Amino acid sequence: MSVPTKNKKLIAWVDEIAAMTTPEEIIWCDGSVEEYDRLMAQMVETGMAIKLNEKKRPNSYAFNSDPSDVARVESRTYIATKTKEDAGPTNNWIDPEELKVTMRGLYKGCMKGRPMYVIPFSMGPIGSDIAQIGVELTDSPYVVVNMHTMARVSNKVLEVLGDDGEFIPCLHSVGSPLEPGQKDSRWPCAPVEKKYIAHFPEENLIWSFGSGYGGNALLGKKCLALRIASAKGRREGWMAEHMLILRFTNPEGKKYHIAAAFPSACGKTNLAMLQSTVPGWKVETIGDDIAWMKPGKDGRLYAINPEAGFFGVAPGTSEQSNPMALASCSRDAIFTNVVVTEDKDVWWEDMGYDCPGGGGIDWKNNPWKQGQKDADGNEVKGAHPNSRFTAKAELCPVICPDWEDPAGVPIDIFVFGGKRTSVMPLVHEAYDWEQGVYMGATASSEPTAAALDLGNVSLRFDPFAMTPFMGYNGGDYMQNWFDMGEKLGDKAPKIFYVNWFQKDGKRFIWPGFGENSRVLKWMCDRVEGKVEAIDTPIGRMPVDNGLTEGMDFPAEDWERLMKVDKDAFRKTVLEAEEYLSKFGDRLPKKMTEQLEKLKARLG
Ligand code: GTP
Ligand code: SPV
Ligand code: MN
């Protein structure tokens, strides 16, 4: 195959990696439909992919991963900076040279018997100032087809790169070499102790080994667009955040742009596409997972979505909860770890209807019947809780016409949050930017299925929903937010904190989903100074239950949602203090000030 670039650095790197990993051949990817179809056909042939019913779900495929390879593995994810302090207390760290020695050992001959694909991609519109070019080398055809949807893969990227342009090298292998004649596994991967998701932020380099799944393997996403980009952004004066971006337009046509950070599986995709229940107000999606933000010439903060698709949580996605996500994967979609029904369509738990035909092939690739119980009498789930759809953003019926504008959209409102079944009220507003940064830095959530190995913790602090994605010291991260506030001054977005997830037993107290538009509208009204708010020790909150007007919502439920339980918050503050202490002298002074102010307000 001829080499479609003259970029010396790229050619030398591809040669170097090929010499180390010894693939059977090297395939330069061009992002074409022909390439996609060819790889899918090959994967159907080997049994890795299932072609779905063309009439029901055109041009779509399902995959089941190895049962051990179903989510990000945070315990095997590393930030390898020269000093441990620069990675900070929230990241795993290994000395970069030592880690490279270990990983070179693993990479040696690891692509034997497989092709190595070279994927030139752009995060952000190709050629835009804010875009970053990456090249992923991988031995996984599953990664190639997913990258087609999630990033911008094209020969145009090589043109922009030219002969001496810079790119971010992203090396990936499933870590499962094939001996001559050896039959491949359906989903090759390496055992957990050999998995490494490694980042070298000081040299903009990513090395991933042993996992074929999602954020571990599609290196443009969490690895480049969050971990490497957050470190690069800090050096260059911009920010990379785990945030959705949406446009909320009022009946008069005024547009508000909202960016919200919730931890994995805590509602970003859903909020990004919500169907507003507030008459005349509508939401358009700009991004559902990642925001890159930079101050513009007018002094406001502008955001772009660097991705081209959605890698969304399948379970819970229904016509009722998120019809726009379902529409986005109505064709040209990839599904991972869902149920494949008898008529070759897909199904997952809480899809809004029973599994057609009563069952199918489950995520473990076994025949499965809905309602089936395991030995302990628990219902066997057909789809893995972290099963995902890969869908093109352009197919989302409410995608914002400006979603690919390289200039981005000016952010009016930041929202932080997480899953808390108690204590944290539905919504509160920060008194100012600095308290807002405190809220973001002490955001907390109950663990979800999006990471494999969080252990048996009931609550974890997850600053800015970035714990697994910060490419540098978390204390410095907080300082970066304070600094951004100073730079933006009175043009800084207003900051809010939300929690859709309070429970009364098994019941969610707040209906959530579309009704969350009521909370967003309150935020916009606050920006305009149109509505009063009550000052509470934790921040400003809505007056009475005006938010629930026209809803059949019991007053006592509203009271529970809005209760500021001072005792519980005093306890939370002590926990936050203990958590923050681990950042030592990297903890910004302003964070301690905010902590003290909050304590004083709580009395
Ligand atoms: P990642 O892709 O992992 O970063 O997740 P995400 O933050 O985009 O989460 P997503 O929107 O996919 O939601 C995760 C789960 O939370 C799904 O099962 C949703 O159905 C559920 N969920 C989202 N919004 C709400 C809500 O307002 N109320 C309730 N009760 N559940 C919600
Ligand atoms: C997340 O876990 O936040 C995701 C899914 O968006 S993954 O790409 O697998 O990280
Ligand atoms: Mn995410």
Read off the pLDDT of residues 73-119 as tens digits, 9 standing for 90 and up. Answer: 999 999 999 999 999 999 999 999 999 999 999 999 999 999 999 99
The mean-pLDDT minimum among 63-72, 157-166, 374-383, 543-552 falls in 543-552
| Cα Rg of the chain (Å, integer) | 24
| pTM (2 d.p.) | 0.97
- Return d(Cα 494, Cα 411) in angstroms, integer: 9
Compute the distance from residue 54 Cα to the ligand 1 centre, in Å: 29
Q: Stretch 162-171: mean pLDDT, rounded?
A: 97
Helix (H, G, I), strand (E, B) or coil at 285: strand
Compute the distance from residue 446 Cα to the ligand 1 centre, in Å: 13
> In this structure, are residues 188 and 347 in contact, taking their beta carbons and an 8 Å threshold?
no
Q: Which sign does the torsion angle of CA 7, 169, 213, 352 carry?
A: negative
- Return d(Cα 417, Cα 261) in angstroms, integer: 7
Cα–chain center distance at 300: 24
| Tokens 């100074």, residue located | 529
- Return d(Cα 571, Cα 576) in angstroms, integer: 9
Cα–chain center distance at 119: 21
- Return d(Cα 533, Cα 540) in angstroms, integer: 6
CB of residue 115 inside a 6 A radius of ligand 2: no
| CATH code for residues 8-48+70-236 | 3.40.449.10
Q: Stretch 214-230: mean pLDDT, rounded?
A: 98
> In this structure, are residues 69 and 212 in contact, taking their beta carbons and an 8 Å threshold?
yes
> In this structure, are residues 32 and 49 in contact, taking their beta carbons and an 8 Å threshold?
no
Two structure tokens written together for 497: 């904190």
| Tokens 């009521």, residue located | 518
- Return d(Cα 113, Cα 110) in angstroms, integer: 9
What residue's CA is closest to ligand 2, atom 3? 264
- Work out the number of other CB atoms within 10 angstroms of the CB of residue 560: 17
CB of residue 390 inside a 6 A radius of ligand 2: no
Q: Which residues surround ligand 1 with Cβ inside 6 Å? A: 262, 264-270, 288-289, 312-313, 315-316, 321, 450, 500-501, 508, 512-513, 516
11 pLDDT higher than 80: yes
Q: Stretch 13-32: mean pLDDT, rounded?
A: 98
Q: How confident is the model at residue 1 (pLDDT cuts 50, 70, 90)?
A: low
Two structure tokens written together for 292: 């890159």
- Return d(Cα 234, Cα 163) in angstroms, integer: 28
Secondary-structure breakdown of the chain: helix, strand, coil percentages, each rounded to the nearest 5? 35, 25, 45
List helix spans (H) across 535-588: 555-562, 566-581
Can you list the positions of beta strands (E) in 262-329? 282-287, 291-295, 301-304, 309-313
pLDDT tens per residue across span 293-329: 999 999 999 999 999 999 999 999 999 999 999 999 9
Q: Which ligand is nearest to the CA of 320?
A: 1
120 pLDDT higher than 80: yes
Q: How confident is the model at residue 471 (pLDDT cuts 50, 70, 90)?
A: very high
- Return d(Cα 347, Cα 300) in angstroms, integer: 43
Helix (H, G, I), strand (E, B) or coil at 92: strand
- For the domain made up of 310-394, give the CATH fold: Phosphoenolpyruvate Carboxykinase; domain 2 (2.170.8)
Per this entry, what is the length of the chain? 603
How much is the mean pLDDT over the chain?
A: 96
pLDDT tens per residue across span 55-76: 999 999 999 999 999 999 999 9
Q: Stretch 454-463: mean pLDDT, rounded?
A: 77
- The residue type of 558 is W
Query: Percent of the chain, pLDDT > 70?
Result: 98
Compute the distance from residue 167 Cα to the ligand 1 centre, in Å: 33
Q: How confident is the model at residue 545 (pLDDT cuts 50, 70, 90)?
A: confident
So what's the pLDDT on residue 457? Answer: 64
- For the domain made up of 240-308+401-602, give the CATH fold: Phosphoenolpyruvate Carboxykinase; domain 3 (3.90.228)
So what's the pLDDT on residue 453? Answer: 63
CB of residue 312 inside a 6 A radius of ligand 2: no
Which of 150, 197, 222, 268 has most ligand 2 atoms within 8 Å of CB, for mutation? 222
Compute the distance from residue 76 Cα to the ligand 2 centre, in Å: 15
- Work out the number of other CB atoms within 10 angstroms of the CB of residue 278: 22
pLDDT tens per residue across span 399-422: 999 999 999 999 999 999 999 999
Which of 213, 289, 419 has most ligand 2 atoms within 8 Å of CB, for mutation? 289
> In this structure, are residues 598 and 537 in contact, taking their beta carbons and an 8 Å threshold?
yes
> Domain segments of the chain: what residues?
8-48+70-236, 240-308+401-602, 310-394
